C-alpha cells in the first residue's frame, strides 16, 4: 500500500505557528503555492483593536483576544469546508498562548483569562485539528528585527520583552499540543528552501499515520 502524501490525500490542513515577525505569512503563501493549496492569513489589517492594544495592553487585552477568537473561529469554519491542501497562518489553538502570556505579564486579569478560556474551550472543541503544525522557531531579537524591517505602524509597540515572554509561552504550548497534533519545528532563521519544508511536511504527515504493533506478553 502506498503511504498517503499531501499530493494524494483528499484533504490536508497545516497550521503555521510562531512569533510575530517569524515569517508565518511568507511561509504560508509559499507552501500553498508549492503544494497547490490555499492559504488563510491572520486578520491583521482589519483588526480595529491592534493599535490601541499596543498602546495600552492592560486596557485592551481582553477585547483584543475576544475579537481575534471570533475572527479565527469564522476562518476555521471556512477551512472546514475546504478540500485539498489548506495552510493557515496561526490557528485558533494558539490564541490561548497570547492570553496566558498577557495574564502572566499582568496585562489581563485572572477573571478575564478565565472568561476568555471558557469561550476558547467551547469554540476550539468544535473545530477540526490540523494534521500538522509547522512551528517557526525564531529568536525574539530576530523576530523584532523582522517587525521593524517590514515597518507596519500598528506593530510599532512590539517590544523585545513582549516577544521574549511570548516565546516562553509558545514553548509550553508546543510541548502540550505535540501530544495531540504532530509538530514540525523549523529553525527558520536559516531560511531553508520551500521544497525542503514541503519534503519535511510530507515526511511528518506520513510518520503521523504509523501504526505500532503492541508487544503483548502471555
* CATH 1.10.10.60 matches 11-207: no
Domain positions in the chain are: 11-207
Q: Per mean pLDDT, which of 7-16, 47-56, 62-71, 190-199 is the most reliable?
A: 62-71
Model confidence at 31: pLDDT above 50 = yes
Torsion sign, CA atoms 164, 47, 96, 209: negative
More confident residue, 204 or 107: 107
Structure confidence by residue, pLDDT tens digits, 145-203: 999 998 888 788 889 999 999 999 999 999 999 988 889 898 866 656 788 888 888 78
Model confidence at 8: pLDDT above 70 = no
More confident residue, 26 or 11: 26
pLDDT for res 189: 67
In this prediction, what percent of the chain has a pLDDT beyond 70?
A: 88
Residues with a known catalytic role? 89
Residue 1: pLDDT band (50, 70, 90) is: very low
More confident residue, 71 or 126: 71
**C-beta of residue 186 within 8 angstroms of C-beta of residue 137:** yes
Average pLDDT in the chain? 86
Model confidence at 112: pLDDT above 80 = yes
Residue 46: pLDDT band (50, 70, 90) is: confident
Amino acid at each position: 500500500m502506498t503511504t498517503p502524501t499531501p499530493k494524494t490525500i483528499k484533504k490536508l490542513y497545516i497550521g503555521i505557528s510562531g512569533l510575530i515577525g517569524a515569517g508565518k505569512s511568507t511561509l504560508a503563501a509559499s507552501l500553498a503555492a508549492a503544494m497547490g493549496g490555499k492559504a488563510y492569513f491572520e486578520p491583521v489589517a482589519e483588526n480595529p483593536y491592534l493599535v490601541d492594544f499596543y498602546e495600552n495592553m492592560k486596557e485592551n487585552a481582553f477585547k483584543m483576544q475576544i475579537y481575534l477568537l471570533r475572527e479565527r473561529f469564522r476562518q476555521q469554519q471556512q477551512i472546514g469546508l475546504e478540500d485539498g491542501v489548506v495552510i493557515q497562518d496561526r490557528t485558533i489553538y494558539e490564541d490561548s498562548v497570547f492570553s496566558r502570556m498577557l495574564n502572566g505579564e499582568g496585562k489581563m486579569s485572572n477573571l478575564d483569562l478565565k472568561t476568555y478560556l471558557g469561550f476558547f474551550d467551547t469554540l476550539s472543541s468544535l473545530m477540526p485539528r490540523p494534521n500538522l503544525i509547522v512551528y517557526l522557531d525564531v529568536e525574539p531579537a530576530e523576530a523584532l528585527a523582522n517587525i521593524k524591517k517590514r515597518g507596519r505602524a500598528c506593530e510599532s509597540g512590539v517590544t523585545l520583552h513582549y516577544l521574549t515572554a511570548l516565546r516562553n509561552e509558545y514553548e509550553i504550548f508546543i510541548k502540550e499540543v505535540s501530544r495531540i497534533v504532530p509538530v514540525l519545528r523549523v529553525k527558520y532563521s536559516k531560511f531553508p528552501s520551500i521544497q525542503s519544508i514541503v519534503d519535511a511536511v510530507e515526511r511528518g504527515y506520513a510518520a503521523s499515520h504509523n501504526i505500532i504493533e503492541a508487544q503483548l506478553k502471555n
